[in-house]
Amino acid sequence: MSRSNLAKLYVYVRRATERLVEPLAVEDMVIQTMPEMSPTKWHLGHTTWFFETFVLARAGLPVRDRRYGALFNSYYNAAGAMHPRGERGQLSRPTVEEIRAWRRQVDDALTRWIASAPDAAFAELATTIEIGINHEEQHQELVVTDVKHVRAANPLAPPYRRRAGDPPAIAKPLAWHRVDGGIVEIGHRGSGFAYDNEGPRHRRWIDPFELASRLVTCGEWLEFMHDRGYERSELWLADGWDSCRAARWRAPLYWRGGDGGWSSLTLAGERPIDPHEPVCHVSFYEADAFARWAGARLPYEHEWEAVAAACPVDGNFVETGAMHPRAASAGDVAQLFGDTWEWTRSAYEPYPSYRPYQDALAEYNGKFMSGQFVLRGGSCATPRRHIRATYRNFFPPAARWQFTGVRLAR
Amino acid sequence: MSRSNLAKLYVYVRRATERLVEPLAVEDMVIQTMPEMSPTKWHLGHTTWFFETFVLARAGLPVRDRRYGALFNSYYNAAGAMHPRGERGQLSRPTVEEIRAWRRQVDDALTRWIASAPDAAFAELATTIEIGINHEEQHQELVVTDVKHVRAANPLAPPYRRRAGDPPAIAKPLAWHRVDGGIVEIGHRGSGFAYDNEGPRHRRWIDPFELASRLVTCGEWLEFMHDRGYERSELWLADGWDSCRAARWRAPLYWRGGDGGWSSLTLAGERPIDPHEPVCHVSFYEADAFARWAGARLPYEHEWEAVAAACPVDGNFVETGAMHPRAASAGDVAQLFGDTWEWTRSAYEPYPSYRPYQDALAEYNGKFMSGQFVLRGGSCATPRRHIRATYRNFFPPAARWQFTGVRLAR
Amino acid sequence: MSRSNLAKLYVYVRRATERLVEPLAVEDMVIQTMPEMSPTKWHLGHTTWFFETFVLARAGLPVRDRRYGALFNSYYNAAGAMHPRGERGQLSRPTVEEIRAWRRQVDDALTRWIASAPDAAFAELATTIEIGINHEEQHQELVVTDVKHVRAANPLAPPYRRRAGDPPAIAKPLAWHRVDGGIVEIGHRGSGFAYDNEGPRHRRWIDPFELASRLVTCGEWLEFMHDRGYERSELWLADGWDSCRAARWRAPLYWRGGDGGWSSLTLAGERPIDPHEPVCHVSFYEADAFARWAGARLPYEHEWEAVAAACPVDGNFVETGAMHPRAASAGDVAQLFGDTWEWTRSAYEPYPSYRPYQDALAEYNGKFMSGQFVLRGGSCATPRRHIRATYRNFFPPAARWQFTGVRLAR
Amino acid sequence: MSRSNLAKLYVYVRRATERLVEPLAVEDMVIQTMPEMSPTKWHLGHTTWFFETFVLARAGLPVRDRRYGALFNSYYNAAGAMHPRGERGQLSRPTVEEIRAWRRQVDDALTRWIASAPDAAFAELATTIEIGINHEEQHQELVVTDVKHVRAANPLAPPYRRRAGDPPAIAKPLAWHRVDGGIVEIGHRGSGFAYDNEGPRHRRWIDPFELASRLVTCGEWLEFMHDRGYERSELWLADGWDSCRAARWRAPLYWRGGDGGWSSLTLAGERPIDPHEPVCHVSFYEADAFARWAGARLPYEHEWEAVAAACPVDGNFVETGAMHPRAASAGDVAQLFGDTWEWTRSAYEPYPSYRPYQDALAEYNGKFMSGQFVLRGGSCATPRRHIRATYRNFFPPAARWQFTGVRLAR
């Protein structure tokens, strides 16, 4: 990417982050409502720390405050000490305004550096800047999901963004898209950006299978609930059943109500469950139990990719402003991109001959390759630019606060 | 107390709270750095809730927002549901500004009600208002101690209040004040305000004893440390030793450093330990171990009161602005009031024939009469108006974040 | 005590321990069903370790196996390292038979030493032997209560000892024994054995009060339960209410059943609740809540002792073989001794001028003087020889597995 | 299998279990030294419960004691309530002797039933009996590993079985066995016994790779340790590093010592580390970190199977009596079977089109297919009859108490 294009992209993505947090009060940006999520102000600081640490400092430029290093390091052991993840909500300072000033300072320094750096230095660090831009987009999505969690923890919290609802839509009936078996190629190849974990491209044998034409809907999920899906151990993986009982799951996260009718907390306020919308905020364990109940299974990630590779990257992303999944109204295989991340049956493992990034960024993806499951396709909180068919997201199987949904296979 | 005096006192105390929080940023007022402390904004709300719930609502006036009830109820089961104590830092809303508006509204309503309530209603609730005023003063002290904890959790936090230090002072040598045995009367009697737990006044036999003329100093505490006081189990109560090892105590809370020299975090910033100042932020367990090491013991609360009853209530209270204990420079028995709370050897028990308040306020004191120890005399964070010789404060034996110090007896 | 009397007493008490464990299978003696209790085989070893460590080793005699030191040290830091208390059930070895052999060896050595030690050595250690004998009696009671806990953890466990029940008895109606106020003397004085915590004898002022003529019965406890005593927070201390909810107390420990009728697990098997029997296996918190419900209170320990000092030490002790409390059928103030330990309102504190034992035995009592409450009078599991009016037992306020009951005062 | 062959096999396997426990004292068989392991007497009971519940009861025969159902049910929700796994060491009864009597009774009933059942009934349950026999063999291995854990918890425990050591052997130098890529068939097919999780047989594409000719040795592991392998976060998966620090791993489980030399606790007693022996009792996380340190990786399970399918099932199994891995002294690709289980890089997932057993045994394997990693090849504690090339064992990635070792790939 040319210097000027990289600089433009950098500015565009950084500003997008700031627009996302505009509706928030300072109080909304400081607290941590569970160890897995982070305060908004921490996200603002961490993404800035990323550019300062991995670009500016390596380019020999000064850092704003050495003490920020430990506070905003997420998990990079190679970058030094770090504040405990579960205690990010115990930091009164720096204030939101101080972090904003830091962002502006880093943005100035970085755009100036892109314009003026010697060619060799630029060549060495351009990829890191591009990773940082993609990293910022990941945290944009996390800002959305973490703000939703903050809102849900408090009955007084107003909607994040009041907006007129989308017009009601009818989900198309479920159909099955048949895929023949054979050898397929999986993983990224080519000139566009991709993370290290998307490669190397490699062959994989696939048995014939069928993929559902759309995501599982809330209406279908209500049937699962009415059929006592949350009470029948035989539908669940053992660890899933333990999680279900320990956390007393009886509906997706953010659902409220019961026999008299269910509603859901959305970023635009609480509203009744729409049976045509895709179900969202379910864990891998719930997705797996639902699939078993439905006489189906979750797709493997290579099955998903084999289908998605031929589809345009189009859908309900964060740019629609909906920040909520919408009913599938079109397409042979709809909703592969956007709306909700799709749990796969694949544990998050390295591809054959996988090589992580070098240096500190070696920790970016590779060290998380145990205990998590792969999700595909992006969600209504993902920037459109960020996603592609080879993209591998990953979360622990009990996580529910991301926009995570279900597509069946068989 | 007359209506106008009560109203004046009310306004005075409420404004004092607001002055205390003036130096704070919003970010300082929202977070919770351990389950035992509360965010400043919660204190602002809770004290307001107290007046709204126990006075205005009982007088038939409307409450601002029913949902505030559970959020700001501290521990009154009789007043309904309550938000978990350890999760007060997970509340983004109401914002600080919304709570301030609520305070103003309640203050207006309450002062108008004091002026205009029918005599019978006023007679019924005047005592509750007075309790509420004293309750507000208790939370003023907690604001100070909790803000100190928030600052200490963050290396970036600036001082709460920059101020020139006090001129250095030399602690007078320790002397022993001898008290003859006999029957003494203990507890509150008379017309001034006192909590239910200070009565009824009753007789108590006292054996002859001696009380130290001043608080234990930091210099004396350093001797204890140098003599391996934190490593010698034989000096400690069993539960104290467990706490010491589990929490890895090796100095009072807020002390930093080691062999090369100790400093302490104060509300005016970090500064070297002054050996003449009273030691502060020590637990009952540490106080007890120190006393054993010193060949002495902690006083019983009735011993303390027998001496203090004859002394003027004078000392280094919150009004001095020091917010830190000062060296004892005068007096036969100095520092009985102010500087630091003094741990006694007395478990917090009801006095003979104790009767708690009626109704919801029955929970104010009585239900905490197990597992805690009595402290006497107030501290540099206590409003002067709030303290008296019969006053019984109480904390669990491992608590260290209050301004708690040590006076010896033998 | 003369050498021969001491030797006779030693042999008598050691044999009593062995008779207590005769009904047990090896499997009953090895496991630990909660951290607070110990396997029977550990008790057999620990009491032996006590004599070996504090008598034989100090007399210069060899120990059987140095490695036993850490395994059977309960809490004496001065005696070296110790195995964690909560992991006493993880020790396969030594076997029960090996511990029995060790007991025999120590018994032989100790009785020979008593007979033959030089006068000076005997004079120095005779008191320690006497403490060891009393210590063994304490563990006899613990064997009984811990075996009961092991049985209760397992639906298959047969009774400890099958026996014909006592003939049914009718509890006398509750009466109140009035005591005038004044100065009383409290604590042990004289030539008989007493622990360090029973002294020194000292004066105490007592206000006039009334003491219940007998223990609270199961019938009275059922009334408390039917009046929703376990569900009304206003009856409970705050910590007690937390314990009640966390542990889901709804009846005394070992009670089974519900609306259809309650039964209780006893050492002679399960049997229906007898409303005339004293209630047993209740915590301090429950006792305190019951007293509040009954419009009374628990006695202070000095009140109890002031009455008990004038009464003969007689009652239902372990020697009756009942191992269960019996209905109070006689006396002006009945059941002061035996049947159940009586919770007092007194936190366990040192008496004025208290001096612990010297050397390692300093840890015997003194270091536990925080966080516990005093119990008086012994139980149906206490050896008769062991108890006296000045005897101070102590347990944490939530403990329920001892034979602990309630006597009211007002 | 014919009735008589099945009966012979049944008797053979059941007797093998009993021979394994012969060296144990009752005390060794009762306790539980961590939640993941079980007391020997529980294994004896559980395997008996399996036959009684899934064969005898379904054949209409009476069970010995209904209360045994919950006590000895491991994890079959469909079979009713169950005692908590972590509390198996809190069961005093049934005694070891009672369980042995139960075993004899079930053995009598089952062998008689095999001989006399109607053909239809036999046809229906014969497979379940065969599963039960294989299940018993799995618990034979667990008896060995759990007894080792019990021994290690106690410095007094004598060796399980004293035996002369094997003659010293020299491990062959490591070589790399090259495998060409292509499509392979994976999974069980044919007439012999296999678990449901070994099928269905399916195709898999394999890229060319190399497999190490033998297991990693203790000598190689010592190099890893000397190179600070346990202290360098960059070698570890994130969850692995958390486990390493939380549990303070610095060597394989059962290793003792330090710079002065390492020894290992074996079932024949403690002995110095032999650098030629395979390393054992390491977790997946350690195995993975070692492989990264060595510039290699762990094999995927299909890679392992592609090689093993062509090798004879021969090696150091439980029948050698060594109960400890031995140096690899022969073969092109040695030690694929026996010595130690080999961690693979494959998360434990269902094979394409996997179908679990029907009814209660559906829970046997399928519900554990998340959060665990596949191990292959059996160990020195596995019965030789029990293992085959398609066999898939699985354990959580932090487990260390099984005989688990490492083979590298690249």
For residue B354, the chain C residue with the least C-alpha distance is: C297
| Residues C373-399: tens digit of each pLDDT | 999 999 999 999 999 999 999 999 999
Most D CBs within 10 A among A85, A205, A244, hence the mutation to make, goes to A205
By percentage, how much of chain B surpasses pLDDT 90?
92
How far apart CA A299 and CA C205 sit, in angstroms, is: 80
How far apart CA C277 and CA C266 sit, in angstroms, is: 13
| Residues B219-238: tens digit of each pLDDT | 999 999 999 999 999 999 99
Chain C residue numbers with beta carbons less than 8 Å from the beta carbon of B367 are 236-238, 241
Interface residues of B toward C, Cβ cutoff 8 Å, are 75, 77-78, 183, 202-205, 207, 209, 233-234, 236-241, 284-285, 288, 300, 345-347, 349-350, 352-353, 362-363, 367-371, 373, 397
Most C CBs within 10 A among B77, B183, B205, B243, hence the mutation to make, goes to B205
Give whole-number Cα distances, A90 to B33, B41, B66, B88, in Å.
5, 15, 29, 12
How far apart CA B6 and CA B21 sit, in angstroms, is: 24
Tokens describing residue B72: 């700001």
Tokens describing residue B37: 């402390």
pLDDT beyond 90 at A260: no
Contact indicator for A179, A302 with CB cutoff of 8 Å: no
Residue C337 DSSP label: S
What residues have CB less than 8 Å from A401, skipping those under 6 apart? A34, A36, A37, A145, A146, A148, A149, A253, A281
Q: Three-state DSSP class for D394?
A: strand
**Per-state percent for chain A, helix, strand, coil, to nearest 5:** 40, 15, 45
Average pLDDT over residues D248-276: 93
Chain A residue numbers with beta carbons less than 8 Å from the beta carbon of B153 are 90-92
Identify the CA nearest to D386 among candidates D141, D177, D166: D141
Strands C341-347 and C404-405: parallel
Cross-chain Cβ contact B92/A150 below 8 Å: yes
D: neighbours with 3+ CB pairs under 8 Å?
A, C
How far apart CA B116 and CA B125 sit, in angstroms, is: 13
Contact indicator for C184, C302 with CB cutoff of 8 Å: yes
HEC assignment per residue over A93-147: CCCHHHHHHHHHHHHHHHHHHHHHCCHHHHHHHHHHHHHHHHHHHHHHHHHHHHH
- Look-up: residue for tokens 């006493």? C88
Contact indicator for A343, A376 with CB cutoff of 8 Å: no
What residues have CB less than 8 Å from A269, skipping those under 6 apart? A158, A159, A162
Identify the CA nearest to A11 among candidates A103, A144, A148, A127: A103
How far apart CA B108 and CA B102 sit, in angstroms, is: 10
**Torsion B395-B398-B401-B403 (CA) sign:** positive
| Residues A45-68: tens digit of each pLDDT | 999 999 999 999 999 999 999 999
Contact indicator for B195, B348 with CB cutoff of 8 Å: no
Tokens describing residue D390: 């398609």
pLDDT beyond 90 at B130: yes
Q: Three-state DSSP class for B183?
A: strand
What residues have CB less than 8 Å from C98, skipping those under 6 apart? none
pLDDT band for position A191 (cuts 50, 70, 90): confident
Four-CA torsion A38, A39, A41, A44, nearest 10 degrees: 30
| Residues B39-84: tens digit of each pLDDT | 999 999 999 999 999 999 999 999 999 999 999 999 999 999 999 9
ipTM of the complex: 0.95
How far apart CA D14 and CA C248 sit, in angstroms, is: 43
Q: How many CB atoms lie within 10 A of CB B304?
A: 25
Cross-chain Cβ contact B349/C352 below 8 Å: no
Tokens describing residue B216: 């234990």
For residue A37, the chain B residue with the least C-alpha distance is: B90
In DSSP terms, A186 is beta-bridged to A202
Average pLDDT over residues A220-245: 97
Q: What is the least distance, in Å, from the CA of C21 to any CA of chain D?
A: 15
Q: Which helix (H) or strand (E) holds D317?
A: none
Contact indicator for A322, A380 with CB cutoff of 8 Å: yes
How far apart CA C163 and CA C144 sit, in angstroms, is: 16
Side-chain-facing half-sphere of B182: CA atoms under 13 Å: 6
The confidence score (pLDDT) of residue D330 equals 74
Q: Which of B27, B33, B156 sits opposite A30 (nearest CB)?
A: B27
Chain B residue numbers with beta carbons less than 8 Å from the beta carbon of A156 are 65, 67, 71, 91, 93-94
Q: Which of C89, C95, C157 sits opposite D89 (nearest CB)?
A: C89
The confidence score (pLDDT) of residue D163 equals 78
Cross-chain Cβ contact D240/A370 below 8 Å: yes
Identify the CA nearest to B209 among candidates C353, C186, C348: C353
Q: Which helix (H) or strand (E) holds D44?
A: helix D40-51
Task: Determine which of A107-111, A263-267, B330-334 has the lowest per-residue pLDDT on average.
Answer: B330-334
How far apart CA B361 and CA B357 sit, in angstroms, is: 6
**b (16+ CB within 10 A) / e for C185-197:** ebbbeeeebbbbb
A: neighbours with 3+ CB pairs under 8 Å?
B, D
Chain B residue numbers with beta carbons less than 8 Å from the beta carbon of C300 are 352
Interface residues of D toward A, Cβ cutoff 8 Å, are 75, 77-78, 183, 202-205, 207, 209, 233-234, 236-241, 284-285, 288, 300, 345-347, 349-350, 352-353, 362-363, 367-371, 373, 397
pLDDT band for position B169 (cuts 50, 70, 90): confident
Give the count of Cβ contacts less than 8 A between chain A and B.
90
Cross-chain Cβ contact D239/A347 below 8 Å: no
Contact indicator for B55, B128 with CB cutoff of 8 Å: yes
pLDDT band for position B248 (cuts 50, 70, 90): very high
Q: Which helix (H) or strand (E) holds C304?
A: helix C301-308
Chain C residue numbers with beta carbons less than 8 Å from the beta carbon of D89 are 31-32, 89-90
Cross-chain Cβ contact D368/A238 below 8 Å: yes
Q: What is the least distance, in Å, from the CA of D365 to any CA of chain A?
A: 10
For residue A24, the chain B residue with the least C-alpha distance is: B92
Interface residues of D toward C, Cβ cutoff 8 Å, are 25-28, 30-33, 41, 65, 67, 71, 89-96, 150-151, 153-158
Q: Which of D75, D237, D346 sits opposite A238 (nearest CB)?
A: D75
pLDDT: which is higher, A1 or A294: A294
Most B CBs within 10 A among A24, A27, A68, A99, hence the mutation to make, goes to A27
The confidence score (pLDDT) of residue B358 equals 87
How far apart CA C159 and CA C152 sit, in angstroms, is: 10
In DSSP terms, B266 is beta-bridged to B269
Does domain B3-153 fall into CATH 1.20.120.450? Answer: yes
The confidence score (pLDDT) of residue A377 equals 98
Q: Which CATH class is domain D176-250+277-405?
A: alpha beta
Touch between chain C and chain B (3+ CB pairs, < 8 Å)?
yes
pLDDT beyond 90 at B359: no
Domain assignments of chain B as residue spans, ordered by start? 3-153, 176-250+277-405
What residues have CB less than 8 Å from A378, skipping those under 6 apart? A315, A317, A337, A338, A341, A386, A387, A391, A393
Q: How many CB atoms lie within 10 A of CB D232?
A: 15
Average pLDDT over residues D101-123: 97
Identify the CA nearest to D252 among candidates D235, D266, D238, D232: D266
Chain A residue numbers with beta carbons less than 8 Å from the beta carbon of D238 are 75, 363, 367-368, 370
Q: Which of D205, D233, D349 sits opposite A347 (nearest CB)?
A: D349
What residues have CB less than 8 Å from D387, skipping those under 6 apart? D313, D317, D337, D338, D377, D378
pLDDT band for position D332 (cuts 50, 70, 90): confident
The confidence score (pLDDT) of residue B321 equals 94
Interface residues of B toward A, Cβ cutoff 8 Å, are 25-28, 30-33, 41, 65, 67, 71, 89-96, 150-151, 153-158
Q: How many CB atoms lie within 10 A of CB B151?
A: 23
Q: What is the least distance, in Å, from the CA of C34 to any CA of chain D?
A: 9
Tokens describing residue C326: 């019996």
Q: Three-state DSSP class for B89?
A: helix
Cross-chain Cβ contact A205/D207 below 8 Å: no
Note if the bond before B299 is cis, omega within 30 degrees: no
Is the fold of C3-153 the same as that of C176-250+277-405? no
Chain C residue numbers with beta carbons less than 8 Å from the beta carbon of D156 are 65, 67, 71, 91, 93-94
Identify the CA nearest to A307 among candidates A176, A172, A170, A189: A176
Chain B residue numbers with beta carbons less than 8 Å from the beta carbon of A30 are 26-27, 30-31, 92
Q: Which of C234, C239, C362 sits opposite B371 (nearest CB)?
A: C239
pLDDT beyond 90 at A332: no
pLDDT band for position B157 (cuts 50, 70, 90): confident
Computed over every residue of chain B, the mean pLDDT equals 96
Contact indicator for D352, A207 with CB cutoff of 8 Å: yes
How far apart CA A282 and CA A325 sit, in angstroms, is: 13
Cross-chain Cβ contact B367/C237 below 8 Å: yes
Average pLDDT over residues C129-145: 98
Cross-chain Cβ contact D77/A233 below 8 Å: yes
Average pLDDT over residues A91-98: 97
Q: Which DSSP string corresponds to D318-337? A: GGGS--S-----S-SS--SS
Touch between chain A and chain C (3+ CB pairs, < 8 Å)?
no
| Residues A16-27: tens digit of each pLDDT | 999 999 999 999
